[in-house]
Structure 1
Amino acid sequence: MRNAILNLEASRIREVANAGLGRKDVLAFWFGESDEVTPDFIRQAAIDSLSSGETFYAHNLGLPELREAIAAYASGLHGQVTADRIAVTSGGVSALMLAVQALVDAGDDVVAVTPVWPNLTAQPAIMGAKLRCVPLKPVDGAWTLDLDALLAAITPSTKLLIVNAPNNPTGWTLSREEQQSILEHCRKTGTWILADEVYERLYYEPTPNRCAPSFLDVAATEDRLVVAHSFSKSFLMTGWRLGWLVMPSAMTEHMGKLVEFNTSCASVFTQRAALAALARQDEVTPRVVAHLKTCRDTLVPLLQAVPQVRVSPARGGMYAFFQLEGHPDSLVTAKRLVAEAGLGLAPGEAFAPEAQGWLRWCFASKDLSRLAEGVRRLENWL
């Protein structure tokens, strides 16, 4: 087996979750998903598809009508995006892996902004790339980017920049000005940008287009930019495993070849569900975002009232990322909280070494009382 695979670290989030499996008394906030079921009309679209016998292969790049619908959706948020730039994928994770496979050779120089969801740093490692991380810095519980440090790290030898904003786990979000500076710099160095923007709709600042700043807002059609998205978060469809990529049109045909050799295609019935979700998006996403903001605004003040906690409200995403003073080993702390308090959180070290001593709390809870009970358990444990 390749050393790159042997040396991969297992998910620390899963390690903590496994410690609590089978315990009904554990309040679980470790995974990045809402506990709300996918809306009925989305599920019914999949049922209808299966009932009509749509159990066969689809086009590698996705159903033409879904690609058109995604293009229209993206255009409504960011200006014109055409369907010939869209590839439907079997989940956002697959979208990101496909992009890395398409852009990175063994030995290539890759830069990533961290802390970040561990898949984004594992994927270039799987390809044998040389990964360099530029860490965000915490200030009073909020994480910020040293833009000069990031630009200095991106040189003409840098093949790919990976950036996730709104960020999992920190909630940090790029400004439009920062995106413009990064894009202009990467144009000069010839560096590709892989932007994970799956949380763009889960954004709590007032904006005219109802989402976080996107590289699609500032990039030209054929810039070296690939943007990854997912139906998981904004449409309550985590288990459906459906995502998409936006890329330069010259790249799309080749991405279809990669999809063929990875998964062949996304299942038709999940794509029918996605079509229903997009057709009635205003019935889902605005409500989800409003509720998540209520969740954030319920949880964060409760955490801020705990003397040992340092936390700031996230501008985007679905997480409270907080520092727990006096508990520097986040994995040990997370496991103890499961065993001793019945509270399931994700350890900060899963996202980057600089996040040691931090914990991630997914606040996407249908029942707000679960959040209050979780804080009560944390306080009692402390």
Structure 2
Amino acid sequence: MRQAVLNLEESMIRQVANAGMGRDDVLKFWFGESDEVTPAFIRDAAAASLQQGETFYAHNLGLPELREAIARYATALRCAGAAPIGSERIAVTSGGVSALMLAVQGLVDAGDEVVAVTPVWPNLTAQPAIMGAKVTCVSLKPVAGEWRLDMAELLAAITPKTRLLIVNAPNNPTGWTLTRAEQTAILAHCRDTGTWILADEVYERLYFEPTTNGCAPSFLDIATPEDRLVVAHSFSKSFLMTGWRLGWLVMPPSMTLHIGKLIEFNTSCAPVFIQRAGLVAMERTSEITPRIVSHLKTCRDTLVPLLQAVPGVQVMPAKGGMYAFFRLQDQTRFGDSFETAKRLVVEAGLGLAPGNAFMVNPASEAQGWLRWCFASQDIARLGQGVERLERWLAL
């Protein structure tokens, strides 16, 4: 095996989950997905496609009608004055994970310098490492009750030698979101340095702040089609389709053909019956996403005050996403969050994700932090989970 692969860490989230698999007494909040099943009309579209015998290969870049639907959807979400997004900039992928990996494969060589904003979902820093790149992290910091990015530190880290900047906003796990001013400064700086931007915007629609277009600020609102910008999206979060493995990329038109070649050598294409489900999800998004966002806001506004009331817990409300990222402040007792998460499963029946999983350098950045996915149909489960945490802390 290549050394870069041997060096990969096994998912800490999976390790914690494996410790509680099969236990009915564990309240599970570790994975980043809702516990609500995909709407019936989406499932029916996939079933109908299978019944019609659509079991053959599709175009590498996806069904033309789905690419066109995604282009219309993405354009409709843009702010006034933004460049329209045509289907020639769209590639359908087998999940958001595949979308991100394809972008990294297309842009990063061994030895390249990559900058990432952390804490972040571990795949985003592992993928360039798999390609042999050197990853430098710029960490968000909790300041005055919210997560903030030190823009001076980030821009200083991005030099003409930086091949790629990776940024996830709204962010998993913190819920932090880039402001328009921050996006504008980052884009201008990356234009000067010749640096590509890979923006993971899969939580774009899961945004709780007041907005005119129903989504978080996007780089697509301010970039030109020719900018060195690739935006990754997924059907998983906003359409309740985590297990379907369907996503897409938005990129400069000159890049699309080459991403199609990479798709051929990775997965060939997304299955047609899953793309049919995605097409129906696009056509009926107004029946799905606003309801999801409203419910997630209720979940957040239920969980966060309960956690804030627990002695020794620090938590800030997320501006977007589906997570509460909180810290157990007694570092002498709860230093290693991976071990703490495993103990919570065994001793409290509470399944959370360890903060270590979201940091490249967990020894200095993530100790004491835990991620709680609050995407629960049953709001009462959130309160039950906090009760278990509080009882465990009191032991």
Q: Partner of 1:106 in structure 2?
A: 110
1:362 partnered with 2:394: no
1:41 partnered with 2:41: yes
Map residues 172-251 of structure 1 onto 2, 5 A cutoff.
172-251=176-255
| Counterpart contact for 1:205–1:315, Cα < 8 Å | yes
Map residues 309-328 of structure 1 onto 2, 5 A cutoff.
309-326=313-330, 327-328=334-335
Equivalent position amino acid for 2:90 in 1: I
Cα distance in 2, alignment partners of residues 17 and 140 from structure 1:
33
| Counterpart contact for 1:202–1:316, Cα < 8 Å | yes
Q: Partner of 2:301 in structure 1?
A: 297
Q: Partner of 2:98 in structure 1?
A: 94
Deviation at 1:140, TM superposition (A): 4.7
Cα distance in 1, alignment partners of residues 375 and 95 from structure 2:
20
Q: Partner of 1:5 in structure 2?
A: 5
Structure 1 residues 271-317: Cα deviation after superposition (integer angstroms, max 9, x where no partner): 00011001111000000000000000000000000011100110001
Q: Partner of 2:28 in structure 1?
A: 28
Equivalent position amino acid for 1:288 in 2: I
Deviation at 1:138, TM superposition (A): 1.5
| Counterpart contact for 1:72–1:81, Cα < 8 Å | yes
| Counterpart contact for 1:197–1:214, Cα < 8 Å | yes
Q: Partner of 1:349 in structure 2?
A: 356
Cα distance in 1, alignment partners of residues 10 and 43 from structure 2:
32
Deviation at 1:139, TM superposition (A): 2.1
SS of 1:278's equivalent in the other structure is helix
Deviation at 1:133, TM superposition (A): 0.5
Deviation at 1:125, TM superposition (A): 0.3
Cα distance in 1, alignment partners of residues 147 and 212 from structure 2:
25
Equivalent position amino acid for 2:189 in 1: H
| Counterpart contact for 1:62–1:266, Cα < 8 Å | yes
Structure 1 residues 26-50: Cα deviation after superposition (integer angstroms, max 9, x where no partner): 0000000000000000000000000
1:160 partnered with 2:155: no
| Counterpart contact for 1:170–1:320, Cα < 8 Å | yes
1:376 partnered with 2:380: no
SS of 1:322's equivalent in the other structure is strand
Structure 1 residues 2-35: Cα deviation after superposition (integer angstroms, max 9, x where no partner): 0000001111100100111111110000000000
Deviation at 1:142, TM superposition (A): 2.7
Structure 1 residue runs without a partner (length 5+)? none
Structure 1 residues 116-135: Cα deviation after superposition (integer angstroms, max 9, x where no partner): 00000000000000111111
Deviates more, 1:133-142 or 1:41-50: 133-142
Deviation at 1:143, TM superposition (A): 1.7
Equivalent position amino acid for 1:58 in 2: A
Deviation at 1:171, TM superposition (A): 0.6
Cα distance in 2, alignment partners of residues 10 and 252 from structure 1:
32
Equivalent position amino acid for 1:333 in 2: T
Cα distance in 1, alignment partners of residues 310 and 144 from structure 2:
15
Deviation at 1:81, TM superposition (A): 0.4
Structure 2 residue runs without a partner (length 5+)? none
SS of 2:163's equivalent in the other structure is strand
Deviates more, 1:139-148 or 1:327-336: 139-148
Cα distance in 2, alignment partners of residues 151 and 334 from structure 1:
34
Cα distance in 2, alignment partners of residues 256 and 145 from structure 1:
34
Deviation at 1:329, TM superposition (A): 1.1
SS of 2:380's equivalent in the other structure is helix
Cα distance in 1, alignment partners of residues 314 and 27 from structure 2:
21
SS of 2:77's equivalent in the other structure is helix
Return the match for 1:143 from 147, 160, 163.
Answer: 147
1:340 partnered with 2:351: no
| Counterpart contact for 1:112–1:163, Cα < 8 Å | yes
1:67 partnered with 2:71: no
Structure 1 residues 220-255: Cα deviation after superposition (integer angstroms, max 9, x where no partner): 110000000000000000000000000000000000
| Counterpart contact for 1:13–1:350, Cα < 8 Å | yes
Map residues 50-61 of structure 1 onto 2, 5 A cutoff.
50-61=50-61
SS of 1:98's equivalent in the other structure is helix
TM-score, scaled to structure 1? 0.99
Moved >6 Å (runs of 4+): none
Structure 1 residues 164-184: Cα deviation after superposition (integer angstroms, max 9, x where no partner): 000000111000000000000
Cα distance in 1, alignment partners of residues 301 and 141 from structure 2:
23
Cα distance in 1, alignment partners of residues 197 and 316 from structure 2:
28
Equivalent position amino acid for 1:36 in 2: E
TM-score, scaled to structure 2? 0.96
Deviates more, 1:303-312 or 1:136-145: 136-145
Deviates more, 1:76-85 or 1:105-114: 76-85
SS of 1:116's equivalent in the other structure is coil
